[in-house]
Structure 1
Amino acid sequence: MTSKTPENQKLDVPPPYNAVARHGVSAEPNHDEIARFNFLANFNKFMASELSPGNKLAYDKRVLPAFQKTHGREPKDRFEIRHAMNDDPFHRFWSALKRNSMEMRQQNGRAMVLRQIDEINAKARQFNEGRDTLELHPEIEIPRYQSAVDIHCMPGSYHGEELPGDVSAGANYDCGIFATTGGGLGALTDGGGQALVKWIRETRPGWEPRRVLDIGTTVGHNIVPLALAFPNCEFIAIDTAAPILRYAHARAQSLGATNIRFIQANAEDLSRWDDGTFDWVQTTMFLHETSGKALPKILAEGYRVLADDGLMLHLEQPEYSDEMPLYEQFIRDWDAFNNNEPFWSSMHALDMKDEMVSAGFDRSELFETGVRAVVDTEIFPQSDTEEGEDHGRAAFWHAYGAWKNRDELQEAAE
C-alpha cells in the first residue's frame, strides 16, 4: 500500500473526513481531529493543483536556462535536475510544505490513535483472540530496509509497538490515508482492491482462483475486497510486522472477510509453501519499499509458489523508461529523498520485465496494464462521464503482470 497520492489522481473538492467509513477497529476522531484531517486533505489538493505546476515553471524559466549556461548542455539524468532544483527557492518552499503535510498527517493520526489506544487494542482483541486466521511468528526479523527509516514519516514505521499486543501502527496508517489521497481510494481506502476485482472480472470472466497470496499486505485494505468477491477462495496475506497484522486481521474480520489468513512472514523466503501453491501472487505499492537485494528474491519466490496458469500482478507506478521525460522522473522521485522512501528511485529505474524474466517467467508471458480504482459514489456522487466513471477522481496504478505457462497449457489442451 501506498500512502502517496496515486498516479494521475486529480481531485476537485476532497470529501470531508467524516466520510471515512467505520469498521470494527476504527479510531474514532473528535471534532478537532476531523478538522485537522479536512485541512490536510484540502492542503494536499491545493499543493497538487495550484502549487505543484510552479515547479515546472521554475525549471523551464530559471533552473534549466541556468544549468545550460553553466554546463553548456542539457541535464543528463533526474539526479542532475534534482540537485539544480534544490537550489531554487520555489521548489524548496513547495518541498517544505509537502514534507510538512505528511508529518502533520502522521502526527494527527498518531495523536488520535494514542488518545484511545486501550480501546482500539481491546476492540482488536475481540476479533483476534481464539481465531486461527492470525498467525504471528516473533522469530521473523524486521528487514533492514523496513527498520532503517520511519517509512512515510510514520513514527515507528509499520512495526512500532506502544504496548504488548499493540495495533496502533495499523490504526495510524489506516486513519491517515483518506486525508493524504483526498478520498480517492474510497471511504474504506480500498480502491486498490476494488480495482483488482473489477480488472480480473473484465480480464478473465468466470475465473475462480483457489488460493491467493498477498505480499506486504499492511492493513489488508487491498485484499479484503478480493476476499469478499471470491468467498470460496483461500487468501494468505503476509507481512513482517506483527502490529500491522493484528490490526489487519481484526479489520478484515469485522468487515466479514473471514477467508483471509494473516501470517507473519518474509516474502524473501516462502519455503513454508510448496511449489505451485497459489493461483495468484500479488503486491500493491509494495515493491518500492524493498531493497535491491530483496526484490529479486521476492519475485523469484513468488514465481516458485505460483501455479501453472497462475497470475502474478504487481501494482506500482510506472518505471523510469527512456520515454519518460527527465523532469517527470525527477518530480516522481521526490518521495525517495523527502518522504522516507529510500528505494523508490532505484526500484522505478528497474526494467520490471527484465526482473520478472530473471525470476523465471518467459518474456512472452508478461504484460503491462493500467488498473483504475472504482469510484466511491457515496463520497463522490457526481460523475464526469456518461459511463458513470469519474476518471478525474479515481486513482490509477501501473501494473506489471504475467500468466505462468498459460499458453503452454492451452496448447497442450488443444
Structure 2
Amino acid sequence: MKQDVPPPYTAVARHAVFPAPRHDEAARYNFLTGLNKYLSGTIGAGNKLAYDTRVLPAFRAEHGRDPRDRFEIRHAMNRDPWHRFWSACKRNSMEMRQQNGRSITLRQIDELAGKVRQFNEGRDTLELDPAVKVPRYQDAVDIHCMPGCYHGEERPGDMSAGANYDSGLFATTGGGLGALSDGGGQALVEWIRKERPGWAPKRILDLGCTVGHNIVPLALAFPEAEVIAIDTAAPVLRYGHARAQALGATNLRFIQMDAEHMGRFADGHFDWVQTTMYLHELSGKALPAIIREGVRVLAPGGLMFHLEQPQYTDDMPLYEQFIRDWDAFNNNEPFWSAMHAMDLKQIMADAGLPLDCQFVTGVRAVVDRDIFPQAPSGEQEDHGRAAVWNAYGAWKPKA
C-alpha cells in the first residue's frame, strides 16, 4: 500500500535516478532538516551567549588576557556544557543523516544501479579511468562522516556513494540550496548574467564536481558550451553523469581525473574554470597545485571563480573564526581550518592571476521561493553549510 511522504521532503525534486524514500525514511529526513535548522539558529545562538557570559570571563580570570586565536577559544568552549551539548547534537545529526541516506540507497541499490546504467551505457560523456589514484588527503578520512567517502564502493561499478550524497543534501542544508540542492550552481548562473550580460563561454571546467549538482545549472544555461566536470571518485561520477543526463544536461561531460594533473587539456583551453565548496577539502600542498593547473588551462580573458566560505582575515572576529572552524574538528573536514587561514589571493597571484585582476564578491544560493517561502534571508551560525558564500575570482589577463 502506497503511503504519502510527509513534508518538507516532498519538496525535493525527484529526478529519474534519485533514491526514493519510504514514508518513515522521509520522516527521518524531515526530522533532520528541522533539527539542522534549529541547531543553526535557535540553539546555535546560545554558543555566543555562553562565550560572552561564561567562557570569556573565565578565560580572562585564568590568563589575565583575551584569547589570542580561534584555537584558544575552541579549547575553552569545549569545556562549556552548552557548547558540548550543541556539538554533540550537530555531530549526531550528521551521523543520522548518513545512516538514513545509506539505508535508503542500499535498500534499492539494484534498482538504482539499473537506472544509472540506462543513462550511462553507450554514451561518450562519461569517462572513467581506473588508473587515476585517489589522493591520500581524500583517502585518509570519511569526509562529512560519509562511510567510504566519495569513492567507497560496495561492489564493482558502484554508484551508491553518489546516490547517498544526493539523497541527504536537502536535510543537511535544511533545504537552503533548493529542491535539487543546486542553489550554488543557480547562483553562478545568476551572477554571470548580471556581471557579463551576453557572455557565452565556449568551454567550462568544474573541478571536484561530486555528483555535479552545481555544474548542471551552468550546462543548462549555456547549452552550446562544452562543459566538463572532473573528480577522482568514480562512484559519484557514475551517479552524477546519470543525474545530469536525466535532467537534460547532455552537453556536460564527466571525467575521472585528478585536478593536480590535467595534462590532457591544452594551455588556455577553457573560458571558465570554477569550483563550488571544494577548496576546503584540499590539502595545503594540493590546493596551490590545483590553482596553478586551473590557471594554466584557463584562456586569456577567461574567468576563474571559486565559491567558498570567507577566509580568516585580521578583521574577522576570533569568535567567528572559531565557530566557522567547527566542521574541521567535528565533521571530518581536516583541511577546513588551515585552508581558510591561507592567503588565497596570494596563491592565485602566484599562479598567474595578478592581484589587480582579482575580486571577491558575495553570492547567495538561489532558491525557489514558491517552494521555500522561508528560505534563509541571511547567514546563520551554521557557517560551514550556510547557503551564503564568498566568491574568489579573477579574469585572466589577455596579454
TM exceeding 0.5? yes
How do 1:248-397 residues align onto structure 2 when only pairs under 5 Å count? 248-381=240-373, 391-392=377-378, 395-397=387-389
Q: Could you tell me how far 1:163 is from its partner in structure 2? A: 1.6
Q: Partner letter of residue 300 of structure 1?
A: R
Q: State how far apart, in whole Å, the 1-side matches of 2:312 and 2:178 are.
A: 28
Q: Could you tell me how far 1:378 is from its partner in structure 2? A: 3.7
Measured against aligned partners, the alpha-carbon deviations of 1:85-124 in whole angstroms (never above 9, x if no partner) come to 1111111111000000000001000000000000011100
Q: Could you tell me how far 1:274 is from its partner in structure 2? A: 0.6
Task: Name the structure 2 match of 1:211.
Answer: 203
Identity, % of aligned pairs?
A: 72
Task: Name the structure 2 match of 1:122.
Answer: 114
Q: State how far apart, in whole Å, the 1-side matches of 2:50 and 2:374 are.
A: 35
Task: Name the structure 1 match of 2:43.
Answer: 51
The answer on whether the counterparts of 1:214 and 1:223 sit within 8 Å (CA) in structure 2 is yes
Q: What residue ranges of structure 2 are gaps of 5+ in the alignment? A: 1-5, 380-385
Q: Partner letter of residue 8 of structure 2?
A: P
Q: Secondary structure at the match of 1:257?
A: coil
Q: Secondary structure at the match of 2:220?
A: helix
Q: Partner letter of residue 183 of structure 2?
A: G
Alignment TM-score, normalising by the size of structure 2? 0.95
What CA RMSD, in Å, does the superposition of the two structures yield over aligned residues? 1.4
Measured against aligned partners, the alpha-carbon deviations of 1:131-180 in whole angstroms (never above 9, x if no partner) come to 10000000101011111110000111000011211110000000101011
Q: Could you tell me how far 1:53 is from its partner in structure 2? A: 1.1
Q: Does 1:200 align with 2:192?
A: yes
Q: Secondary structure at the match of 1:158?
A: helix
Measured against aligned partners, the alpha-carbon deviations of 1:375-399 in whole angstroms (never above 9, x if no partner) come to 213412469xxxxxx7359922110
The answer on whether the counterparts of 1:312 and 1:402 sit within 8 Å (CA) in structure 2 is yes
Q: State how far apart, in whole Å, the 2-side matches of 1:296 and 1:286 are.
A: 13
Task: Name the structure 1 match of 2:103.
Answer: 111
Q: Partner letter of residue 376 of structure 1?
A: D
Q: Does 1:96 align with 2:82?
A: no
Q: State how far apart, in whole Å, the 2-side matches of 1:167 and 1:246 are.
A: 6
Q: Could you tell me how far 1:45 is from its partner in structure 2? A: 1.1
Q: State how far apart, in whole Å, the 2-side matches of 1:334 and 1:18 are.
A: 30
Task: Name the structure 1 match of 2:147.
Answer: 155
Q: State how far apart, in whole Å, the 1-side matches of 2:36 and 2:283 are.
A: 29
The answer on whether the counterparts of 1:15 and 1:182 sit within 8 Å (CA) in structure 2 is no
The answer on whether the counterparts of 1:27 and 1:175 sit within 8 Å (CA) in structure 2 is yes
Q: Could you tell me how far 1:356 is from its partner in structure 2? A: 0.4
Q: Does 1:234 align with 2:217?
A: no
Q: State how far apart, in whole Å, the 2-side matches of 1:382 and 1:296 are.
A: 39
The number of residue pairs the alignment matches comes to 388
Q: State how far apart, in whole Å, the 2-side matches of 1:105 and 1:193 are.
A: 23
Q: Partner letter of residue 355 of structure 1?
A: I
The answer on whether the counterparts of 2:17 and 2:116 sit within 8 Å (CA) in structure 1 is yes
Q: State how far apart, in whole Å, the 1-side matches of 2:365 and 2:83 are.
A: 30
**Bigger CA drift: 244-253 or 369-378?**
369-378
Task: Name the structure 2 match of 1:3.
Answer: none
CA 1:289 to 1:15, structure 2 compared with 1: closer, same or farther past 3 Å? farther
The answer on whether the counterparts of 1:15 and 1:379 sit within 8 Å (CA) in structure 2 is no
Q: Secondary structure at the match of 2:329?
A: helix
Q: State how far apart, in whole Å, the 2-side matches of 1:362 and 1:320 are.
A: 21
Structure 1 segments of 4 or more deviating over 4 A? none
Q: Secondary structure at the match of 2:250?
A: coil
CA 1:326 to 1:382, structure 2 compared with 1: closer, same or farther past 3 Å? closer
Q: Partner letter of residue 180 of structure 1?
A: T
Q: Partner letter of residue 305 of structure 1?
A: V
Task: Name the structure 2 match of 1:7.
Answer: none
Task: Name the structure 1 match of 2:9.
Answer: 17
Q: Secondary structure at the match of 2:229?
A: strand
The answer on whether the counterparts of 2:149 and 2:161 sit within 8 Å (CA) in structure 1 is yes
Q: State how far apart, in whole Å, the 2-side matches of 1:163 and 1:113 are.
A: 14
The answer on whether the counterparts of 1:63 and 1:88 sit within 8 Å (CA) in structure 2 is yes
Alignment TM-score, normalising by the size of structure 1? 0.92
Q: Partner letter of residue 312 of structure 1?
A: M
Q: Partner letter of residue 233 of structure 1?
A: A
Measured against aligned partners, the alpha-carbon deviations of 1:224-252 in whole angstroms (never above 9, x if no partner) come to 01100100000010000000000000000
Q: Secondary structure at the match of 1:262?
A: strand
Task: Name the structure 1 match of 2:170.
Answer: 178
Q: Partner letter of residue 303 of structure 1?
A: V
The answer on whether the counterparts of 1:15 and 1:380 sit within 8 Å (CA) in structure 2 is no
Q: Partner letter of residue 134 of structure 1?
A: L
Q: Secondary structure at the match of 2:305?
A: strand
Q: State how far apart, in whole Å, the 1-side matches of 2:111 and 2:39 are.
A: 35
Q: What residue ranges of structure 1 are gaps of 5+ in the alignment? A: 1-13, 384-389, 409-414
Q: Partner letter of residue 164 of structure 1?
A: P
CA 1:269 to 1:55, structure 2 compared with 1: closer, same or farther past 3 Å? same
Q: Partner letter of residue 351 of structure 1?
A: D
Q: State how far apart, in whole Å, the 2-side matches of 1:97 and 1:136 are.
A: 38
**Bigger CA drift: 47-56 or 234-243?**
47-56
Task: Name the structure 2 match of 1:8.
Answer: none
2:123 aligns with one of 131, 155, 158: 131
Q: State how far apart, in whole Å, the 2-side matches of 1:54 and 1:298 are.
A: 39
